[in-house]
Amino acid sequence: MDNKVRNLQAIMDCGVVAIVRVGNTKDAVEVCKAVIKGGVKPVEVTMTTPGAIEAIMEFKDVAQDDTIVGAGTVLDPETARTAILAGAEFIVSPTLNLGVIEVCHRYGKIVIPGAFSPTEILAAWEAGADIVKVFPAGVVGPQYIRDIMGPLPQIRLSPVGGVNLENTPHFIRAGAVAVSVGTSLVDQKALSQKKYEIITENAERFIEAVRLARSG
């Protein structure tokens, strides 16, 4: 089993991807450590974070072997390549950019483009997406995932935007292979007070929510 297949399976097994969108490199690394400690091993550092590339490189140096570090808010193939060379194992986009998918295929990395309508979602899948990010998912809710899965059961979907602890089980039961969580996981007040243990506890809660949803 190659790294890409193994990492993709690990993301789906975990069921939660942490979105790290903070103000600087140091906070990004500390938040990554906190969510990993809580059991969320796939971590997405967004390119809107100042020093995001440095954060990916620095965190890769201290990460555990089973940690999967990715880059988010990737808008073009040039940024995708830079992130991959810095160590990103998966690339996430808010929109569908075929050039980003092509670069990820070239380097053998997981690609998760964003889409919303059924037409966009199918286009992303047919272009080679490993998982399709349904964004923004909060405005339509879990029922939308269930409705999409009806005619398109082969597509791996991950809701993003508006995902919280309350609706996570519903998204999972609707057919999502994983949820991606930002502000509901990375508590900004806790971050400002350097109380990383609160972020770790949040991560543990999301992991438990996914586990219970999958167990029926």
- State the CATH number of the domain containing residue 102: 3.20.20.70
Q: Which residues span the domain enclosing 21? A: 3-214
Least confident interval from 38-42, 46-50, 63-67, 148-152: 63-67
pTM of the model: 0.96
Tell me the per-residue pLDDT of 172-202, one tens digit each, with 9 for 90 and over.
Answer: 999 999 999 999 999 999 999 999 999 999 9
Q: Which residue has the higher pLDDT, 130 or 61?
A: 130
- Average pLDDT value over all residues in the chain: 96
Q: Which strands make up the sheet holding 179-181, listed edge to edge?
A: 110-112, 90-92, 68-72, 42-46, 16-20, 179-181
**Which region among 63-67, 68-72, 169-173 has the lowest average model confidence (pLDDT)?**
63-67
- Considering 33, 44, 58, 109, which one is annotated as catalytic? 44
CB 13 within 8 A of CB 40: no
Which tokens in the block code for residue 69? Answer: 């570090």
Write out the DSSP string of 145-161.
Answer: HHHHHTT-TTS-EEEBS
Q: Specify whether the backbone of 174 is left (phi greater than 0), alpha (psi in -120 to 50) or beta.
A: alpha
Residue carrying the six token digits 């980003």: 100
User: Among candidates 43, 81, 83, 84, which has minimal Cα distance to 62?
Assistant: 43
Catalytic (active site) residue 166 = no
The number of C-alpha atoms within 13 Å of 164 and in the hemisphere containing its C-beta is 8
Among candidate residues 108, 123, 69, 64, the one with its CA nearest the CA of residue 92? 69
Structure tokens at 115: 């889409």
Catalytic: 44? Answer: yes
Decide if pLDDT at 1 tops 90: no
Residue 86 gets the label, from left (phi > 0), alpha (psi -120 to 50) or beta, of alpha
Q: How far apart are CA 134 and CA 109, in angstroms?
A: 20
Tokens of 40: 């969320």
Which of 4, 33, 41, 133 is catalytic? The answer is: 133
Q: How many domains does the chain have?
A: 1
pLDDT in tens, 103-156: 999 999 999 999 999 999 999 999 999 999 999 999 999 999 999 999 999 999
pLDDT exceeds 70 at position 88: yes
